[in-house]
Amino acid sequence: MIHQILDKSKQKEVEELFTSVFTSSEGEKEGRLIANLSSQLVSNIDNNEIICFGVYENKTLIGSVFFTRLQFSMPIQVFMLAPVAVSTEHQGKGIGQALINYRLNELKNRSVNAAVTYGDPSFYSKVGFQVLSENVIQAPLKLSMPFGWLGQSLRGESITTINERPVCVKEFNDPVYW
């Protein structure tokens, strides 16, 4: 398997992967929603505010993950992990976990303080995420399922409490995702 940072030229591959995975697991409506989000994100990759990573097997994209910067007024680097997709036929083999762990290390190398995500605690706990109180880091928008707000320090210390609501990238600035 080959891991790499993806760029805008991979838009079609990324969109097809997210469409397939989310349509299969969540239905056609959710598949279209997440495919549209992934398409918007990949079209704005800048490797600074929006980073996309992929894993290939036999020249086929089988997994992808986005990290997007959350902006605060204080000088702290926090990235949000979302969305993530692993092709249906490759799920359950640890590929998603390996991809996430590999890329969290990339963020550590970029001196990022913490990573957050919004999803299933039983999955994300396997890669070091824990339930995160909004008293520590608030979500950019109101959460429909607060138990799914998760975080982890990338510095080996407690996550710094930030007393403000962050600004997310424009692609996530829609209550439908929260």
Instruction: Report the pLDDT value the prediction gives residue 78, as an integer from 0 to 100.
Output: 98
pLDDT digits (tens, 9 = 90+) for 124-153: 999 999 999 999 999 999 999 999 999 999
Residue 69 tokens read as 């910067």
Average pLDDT, the chain: 95
Instruction: Report the pLDDT value the prediction gives residue 108, as an integer from 0 to 100.
Output: 95
Percent of the chain's residues with pLDDT above 90: 96
Taking alpha carbons only, the member of 68, 82, 89, 100 closest to residue 25 is 89
The answer regarding whether domain 2-177 maps to CATH 3.40.630.30 reads yes
pLDDT digits (tens, 9 = 90+) for 19-54: 999 999 888 999 899 999 999 999 999 999 999 999
**pTM of the full predicted structure?**
0.93
- What is the Cα–Cα distance from 91 to 163, expressed in whole angstroms? 38
Q: Where are the alpha helices (DSSP H) in 62-166?
A: 95-109, 121-124
The confidence band for 98, taking pLDDT boundaries of 50, 70 and 90, is: very high
Neighbours of 148 (CB within 10 A): 17
